[in-house]
């Protein structure tokens, strides 16, 4: 099945104040916004909306559409990511976090894992130094100091799968859009990861524009030292929303989110006020939350615990065991910072 999406990079270049311009053209700003972020699949967009957007950009409707193969998952071996918000090959992934929540450690860990899997990793280095930036640089094969530098280096490796990371400032300036558009003209579609070193993305409705995957970090998990602090309820992927994944994956993901949503409501109530009928849900939520903590390879020397990679199918089976109560008698601590259950 062909995968199509709105060419938002091109659209925003042609129409900088897109929301305002869309409203003036008689379009609902919320509809345009949802098309840009992927909340509304392009296949469900009204023809008149696409025609109106093309008129605003002074282009054809075909120029507004990016076509490709069906969205495909890149398995990372990181349990919380692979189950709840899978990384999309050739897509754009946005990190939403405040400083100190572990986003740069996660980016460095992903680069470490992708390097081992034959990917070429590129980092468009921001001008300002930030705590944790050295971790990313140490795990990057090619550090780039400008858009032109990145374009030239990526072109040289164009026959290999590519991961490109950049700071949100390149989104604000439009630099990343120009780079990606130039690369696509050469037939190169890197998997792009966007981080926010300042932490402003948390307060923005659309911090990066269109995203194929969103990783929202959770302050509550950080406060309890549960890493990676990926929020399982607010992190998402077009792979999940578009049902591009296996049935067992989608069902397990939905069941886990349902349990964790209720578990979080019960935590808010307080342990002493949890009804007897919800005790089982609460304790399974505790175990499931603990299971998604995971030691990283790049932090092994720091935390004195070997990093682990867990295949997606193993994660699905482990989560299913927790959901049906097979681990109800296990101590919560025994599930913290492990790989697979029993491993």
pLDDT for 3: 61
Answer yes or no: is pLDDT of 333 > 90.
yes
* Average pLDDT value for residue range 52-58: 91
Answer yes or no: is pLDDT of 49 > 80.
yes
Helices (H), the chain: 8-14, 18-24, 29-37, 47-57, 79-84, 103-116, 133-138, 147-156, 169-173, 175-185, 219-223, 238-241, 247-269, 279-291, 300-303, 312-323
Burial category of 19 from C-beta neighbours within 10 Å (exposed 0-12, middle 13-18, buried 19 and up)? middle
Question: Residue 250 and residue 248: Cα distance in Å, rounded?
Answer: 6
pLDDT for 9: 67
- Assess contact for 25 and 56: CB atoms under 8 A: yes
* Average pLDDT value for residue range 146-175: 94
Task: Retrieve residue 38's tokens.
Answer: 């992927």
Provide the terminal-to-terminal Cα distance of the chain, rounded to the nearest Å.
38
Beta strand pairing call for 213-216 and 92-96: parallel
Answer yes or no: is pLDDT of 1 > 50.
no
pLDDT for 143: 97
pLDDT for 208: 87
256 compared with 177, residue with greater pLDDT: 256
- Assess contact for 201 and 96: CB atoms under 8 A: yes
Task: Retrieve residue 62's tokens.
Answer: 């075909």
- Assess contact for 10 and 181: CB atoms under 8 A: yes
Q: How many percent of the chain have pLDDT more than 70? A: 95
* Average pLDDT value for residue range 65-88: 86
Q: How far is CA 60 from CA 32, 54, 64, in A?
A: 17, 6, 7
Q: What is the pLDDT of residues 192-237, one digit of tens each?
A: 999 999 999 898 878 888 788 999 999 999 999 999 999 999 999 9
* Mean pLDDT, the chain, integer: 90
* Domains, in order of start, for the chain: 3-68 (1.10.260.40), 91-211 (3.40.50.300), 247-335 (1.10.1140.10)
pLDDT for 303: 84
Answer yes or no: is pLDDT of 67 > 70.
no
Question: Residue 184 and residue 180: Cα distance in Å, rounded?
Answer: 6
pLDDT for 323: 98
pLDDT for 332: 96
User: Which of 130-134, 144-148, 190-194, 252-256 is predicted with the least confidence, judged by mean pLDDT?
Assistant: 130-134
71 compared with 88, residue with greater pLDDT: 88
Question: Residue 38 and residue 67: Cα distance in Å, rounded?
Answer: 14
pLDDT band at 319 (very low <50, low <70, confident <90, very high): very high
Question: Residue 236 and residue 254: Cα distance in Å, rounded?
Answer: 12
CA 88 to chain centre: 8
| Whether the bond into 152 is cis, omega within 30 of 0 | no
Q: How many CB atoms lie within 10 A of CB 338?
A: 19
pLDDT for 18: 83
Evaluate the CA torsion angle 102, 106, 109, 115 in order and state its sign: negative
pLDDT for 46: 87
Q: What is the pLDDT of residues 243-283, one digit of tens each?
A: 678 899 999 999 999 999 999 999 988 888 999 999 999 99
């Amino acid at each position: 099945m062909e995968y199509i999406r709105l060419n938002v990079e091109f659209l925003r270049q042609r129409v900088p104040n897109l929301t305002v311009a869309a409203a003036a053209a008689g379009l609902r700003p919320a509809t345009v916004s949802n098309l840009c972020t992927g909340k509304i699949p392009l296949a469900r967009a009204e023809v008149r909306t696409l025609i109106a957007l093309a008129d605003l950009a002074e282009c054809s409707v075909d120029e507004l559409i990016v076509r490709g193969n069906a969205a495909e998952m890149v398995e990372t071996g990181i349990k919380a990511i692979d189950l709840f918000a899978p990384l999309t090959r050739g897509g754009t992934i946005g990190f939403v976090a405040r400083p100190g929540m572990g986003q740069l450690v996660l980016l460095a860990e992903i680069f470490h894992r992708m390097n081992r899997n034959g990917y070429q990793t590129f980092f468009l280095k921001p001008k300002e130094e930030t705590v944790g930036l050295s971790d990313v640089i140490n795990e990057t094969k090619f550090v780039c100091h400008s858009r032109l530098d990145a374009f030239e280096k990526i072109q040289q490796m164009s026959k290999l799968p590519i991961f490109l990371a950049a700071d949100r400032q390149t989104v604000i300036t439009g630099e990343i859009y120009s780079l990606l558009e130039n690369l696509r003209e050469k037939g190169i579609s890197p998997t792009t990861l966007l981080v926010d070193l300042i932490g402003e993305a948390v307060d923005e409705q659309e911090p990066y524009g269109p995203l194929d995957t969103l990783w929202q970090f959770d302050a509550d998990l950080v406060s309890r030292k549960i890493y990676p602090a990926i929020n399982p309820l607010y992190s998402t992927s077009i792979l999940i929303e578009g049902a591009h994944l296996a049935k067992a994956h989608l069902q397990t993901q939905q069941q886990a989110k349902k349990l964790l949503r209720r578990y979080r409501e019960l935590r808010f109530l307080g342990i002493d006020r949890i009804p007897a009928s919800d005790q089982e849900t609460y304790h399974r939520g505790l175990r499931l939350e603990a299971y998604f903590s995971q030691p990283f390879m790049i932090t092994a020397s720091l935390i004195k615990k070997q990093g682990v990679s867990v295949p997606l199918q193993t994660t699905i089976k482990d989560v299913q065991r927790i959901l049906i109560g097979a681990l109800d008698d296990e101590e919560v601590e025994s599930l913290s910072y492990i790989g697979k259950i029993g491993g």
